[in-house]
Amino acid sequence: MDSLHLDDNTRLLVLTGAGVSAESGIRTFRGADGLWEDQPVEKVATPEGFAADPRLVWRFYSERRAAAGACEPNAGHRALAEWERRLGERFLLATQNIDGLHQRAGSQRVVELHGSLFRTRCAHCTRKPFEDRTVYPVGHLERCDECRGLLRPDIVWFGEMLEEENLRQVRDFLLRGDTRLVFLAVGTSGAVWPAAGFVDGARGVGGRTWLVNADPADNTDRFHHFVQGRSGEVLPRLAVFD
């Protein structure tokens, strides 16, 4: 297996997707059937679904909170946390996952592109999202302390835009230009935009690009290096610090 060489003149941008969390037992819902209890997941992951049945949506995410809370970071999560410890500000992790496992493994420089399962925000006012690990009882709805509107999970649902501040952090890291850029995507489908285009952004500034995936991604041909395998097995032995 090729080695990913990281030295004092290298900055590393990592993108992680559902494959990394799946190795910790987090169920992926965009798999073969895309169903939850025989219903399309879009019913619980769109603004329209929340407007139609907020209790159903909160039951779904309360179940996800309980399930994620029972899972543990795997060797892939821990390897990335160790790389960050060694690289410091020359490391940035952008994740499409919402389960908080990277942070529990020790990662701090994390951009949560799709939000967090463990944050809640108001669906109606501009109240700042807040940490919330509560597993609500079935049928329960919480209301905002400031406007009395319904609270919702701080998740980017289908049809919603990613937070511009998150994209800015990734873009600024790509364009920094003070060090050699390496971009690594792990456990991603290569089909969800704009993250699927990060590889092109990295190549556009002369970066070397790596993909670690159990299966080829939709954009595998855009990467300089493809290592096929489970992230928990590949990442702990991939990096070499020069």
Could you give the C-alpha distances from 20 to 89, 207, 209, in angstroms and in order?
Answer: 23, 23, 18
Q: Are 227 and 210 in contact (CB under 8 A)?
A: yes
Active-site annotation holder among 5, 77, 102, 114: 114
Secondary element (H or E) of residue 48: helix 47-52
Tokens representing 153? 């999970």
114 catalytic, yes or no?
A: yes
* Residue matched to tokens 């609270």: 151
Amino acid at the residue 195:
A
Return the closest-CA partner of residue 155 out of 120, 131, 110, 203: 120
Would you name the residues annotated as active-site residues? 114
